[in-house]
Structure 1
Amino acid sequence: MASRSPSIHLEDRDPSPVMAAACAPSSQDVFCKLCLSLQPLEAINELEGCKCMFCTACLQQYVQLAVMEGGGAPITCPDMACPITGALLDSEIASLVAPYQVELYQRLKFERGVKLDPSKAWCPVLECQAVCSVQASTEGRPAAVACPACHTVFCSSCRGPWLEGHTCPEGQPMMLPLQSPGSSDPEESIKQCPMCGVYIERNQGCAQMLCKSCKHTFCWYCLQNLDGDIFLRHYDKGPCRNKLGHSRASVMWNRTQVVGILVGVSIIVLVTSPLLLLASPCILCCMCKPCSRKKKKKKRKRDPGLPEPPSSSSS
């Protein structure tokens, strides 16, 4: 008579080795700095410009938001600590968003390029809207521009009809003179952002500038990157020393506030870390399966009206 092998029930097994193997991170998992989690390698995209790696879902959301709110500005790496901060290629953008968003981005990018180029202007005739070439004029004075499509002649500054003895309305800003790229004359009141090229006017105040288009922080005088200079150390030495535009007491108060915030965050982390360590056994105990069974048995003893679980019989 052959002996029967004892049947093994799945519910009697210890699930901890299986769960540990399933939850253990793989050696090929990559940490995404946007969602702050480990993602499998097949769900990761690597940017060609800077080689930074993010999960595809996060990059899609980032690029979609940049297309809708960027106004055609270059879409750069989402990592603020990226040493290169390279721009995404058009092929990368096309692989992450829908075709209509790609078309929208290309149109906004073209319109932005025309707007930022002092040698180009839109024809003011609504039915035309052609791109016209603007001839360089001395001292930034307005000049006559002839549209190659509808042959309308208009002012390069106010976009009004160009007549003999034309003068622009009061308060109309003059046309920006053509500048060589990288110009950083300290006396200029209008400069281009060194990151995205948008024109920025500085009337007065602090020399630390924040571009509203790409959120890039830079020094007005030397155009140096100040994105990571939270203590404003750039104005302590070098050619821009004491050119911030604020008193020494104001700078020291700003540094004190930054240090206070960092110390406060550190204290919160130090205080909560031991509490989390002390509470971790209780959390693990609540998640433990044998403990949950004991709790159910105690509950049934207290309430005899609860039905008993079906007993499993082995053949």
Structure 2
Amino acid sequence: MTSRSPTLSQEAGDSAPGTPETGTDLLPRPKVFCKLCLSEQPPEATRDLQSCNCSFCTACLQQYVQLAIMEGGGAPITCPDMACQDTGVLLDSEIASLVAADQVKLYQRLKFERGVKLDPSKAWCPMLECQAVCSVQPSTEGQPTAVPCLTCHAVFCSGCRGLWEDNHTCPQRQPMMSPSASHESRARSDSISDMPIKQCPMCGIYIERNQGCAQMLCKSCKHTFCWYCLQSLDGDIFLRHYDKGPCRNKLGHSRASVMWNRTQVVGILVGVSIIVLVTSPLLLLASPCILCCVCKPCRGKKKKKKRKNELSQQDSSTS
């Protein structure tokens, strides 16, 4: 008695009904347009962000995340599309899948240090051999207070980070920021002292200003405001806010750069006006045709004519 050959059984299994044929090809998926490199890429070479569903090619996202880690200082890495409606933020898992492990560790460290720096209830111990994170208890008057370090047992000032000794006077005398303070109280306190860290008047996120002009753009809610008085600048395209009032000449740019910015805005408005003036005669010439198409008597005549044609066709068919 001979046994069945395994080759024959494998061939029989391959020809079993219900298995897909190898000759059938799936339809090709459409290519994805990447707004970073301005080219179309195959779907297998692109990535979709989980928070906003924006698509970019993987190579561009890797370069973008690497640059954001090196220059962002631990800030949230947002969607590279400036026109993104959801203002998506890359998740830690997405960042870990796009860059190397050492860059992920660098980003986590910078993110933690930035969180401590922006949190008014935390502070770094000024001792070089310690560098622990201490808890700050702001005083009721908003003045700098003594902060004890539980690691090295040093006591330092919450304002100037100097050692807290007898009759200590802080040279900064800046009031501590409280997260629960209202927008009005923050606006009053910020107008008195130019603090390096403030909160967005729209969404409340903490923003740090190291240098640059006083016109601030929140990366979280895209709100434009003045750094000094927190007044909204969304509709001030000419930046007239810095021509008068308490913020006069405090924009941070030279007068020539401000005039150049206003000239560009005026040029855009003049260009749009010229386009409207050029196209308006064409619209006037085409207006009779447009009115005739919309006119009710004309539509009524067309309906009557169509009705007569239908009746005549019916009469001819019955005869």
Instruction: Say whether 1:258 aligns with 2:260.
Output: no
> Helix, strand or coil: the match of 1:121?
strand
> Helix, strand or coil: the match of 1:38?
strand
Q: How is 1:52-67 mapped onto 2 (pairs within 5 angstroms)?
A: 52-67=54-69
Q: CA deviation at 1:69?
A: 0.4
Residue of structure 1 equivalent to 2:47: 45
| Whole-angstrom distance in 1 between the partners of 2:270 and 2:65 | 35
Change (3 A) 1:225 1:52: farther
Q: Once the two structures are superposed, what CA deviation does each residue of 1:63-96 show, in whole Å capped at 9, x if it has no partner?
A: 0000000000000000000011121100000000
Q: Are the aligned partners of 2:47 and 2:57 in contact in 1 as well (CA < 8 Å)?
A: yes
Q: CA deviation at 1:125?
A: 1.2
Change (3 A) 1:158 1:105: same
- Scaled by the length of structure 2, the TM-score of the pair is 0.59
| Whole-angstrom distance in 1 between the partners of 2:103 and 2:205 | 21
| Whole-angstrom distance in 1 between the partners of 2:103 and 2:232 | 33
Instruction: Say whether 1:198 aligns with 2:207.
Output: yes
Larger Rg: 2
Instruction: Say whether 1:246 aligns with 2:274.
Output: no
Q: Are the aligned partners of 1:63 and 1:75 in contact in 2 as well (CA < 8 Å)?
A: yes
| Whole-angstrom distance in 1 between the partners of 2:173 and 2:36 | 42
Change (3 A) 1:99 1:87: same
Q: Once the two structures are superposed, what CA deviation does each residue of 1:211-266 show, in whole Å capped at 9, x if it has no partner?
A: 6x99966123677684xx6x729x9xxxxxx7x2337xx9998555235258889x
| Whole-angstrom distance in 2 between the partners of 1:222 and 1:158 | 25
Q: Are the aligned partners of 2:34 and 2:55 in contact in 1 as well (CA < 8 Å)?
A: yes
Residue of structure 2 equivalent to 1:85: 87
Change (3 A) 1:38 1:201: closer
Whichever structure has more helix as a proportion of its residues is 2
Letter in 2 for 1:47: L
Of residues 233, 237, 258, the one that matches 1:232 is: 237
| Whole-angstrom distance in 2 between the partners of 1:195 and 1:40 | 40
| Whole-angstrom distance in 2 between the partners of 1:85 and 1:223 | 23
* Structure 2: gaps of 5 or more residues: 1-27, 245-254, 275-319
Q: CA deviation at 1:210?
A: 4.4
Q: How is 1:1-315 mapped onto 2 (pairs within 5 angstroms)?
A: 28-168=30-170, 170=171, 172=172, 174-180=174-180, 183=183, 185-187=186-188, 188-189=190-191, 190=195, 191-193=198-200, 194=203, 197-200=206-209, 208-210=215-217, 218-220=224-226, 226=234, 232=237, 244-246=241-243, 254=261, 256-260=263-267
| Whole-angstrom distance in 2 between the partners of 1:177 and 1:216 | 23
Q: CA deviation at 1:139?
A: 3.1
Letter in 2 for 1:131: V
| Whole-angstrom distance in 2 between the partners of 1:86 and 1:225 | 23
Structure 1 vs Structure 2 CA RMSD? 3.7
* Structure 1: gaps of 5 or more residues: 1-25, 236-241, 268-315
Change (3 A) 1:160 1:127: same
Q: Are the aligned partners of 1:73 and 1:196 in contact in 2 as well (CA < 8 Å)?
A: no
Q: Are the aligned partners of 2:29 and 2:43 in contact in 1 as well (CA < 8 Å)?
A: no
The share of aligned pairs that are identical, in percent, is 61
Change (3 A) 1:33 1:54: same
Q: Once the two structures are superposed, what CA deviation does each residue of 1:29-58 show, in whole Å capped at 9, x if it has no partner?
A: 000000000000001100011111100000
> Helix, strand or coil: the match of 2:242?
coil
Total equivalences in the alignment: 222
Change (3 A) 1:157 1:252: closer
> Helix, strand or coil: the match of 1:140?
coil
Change (3 A) 1:173 1:60: farther
Residue of structure 1 equivalent to 2:307: none
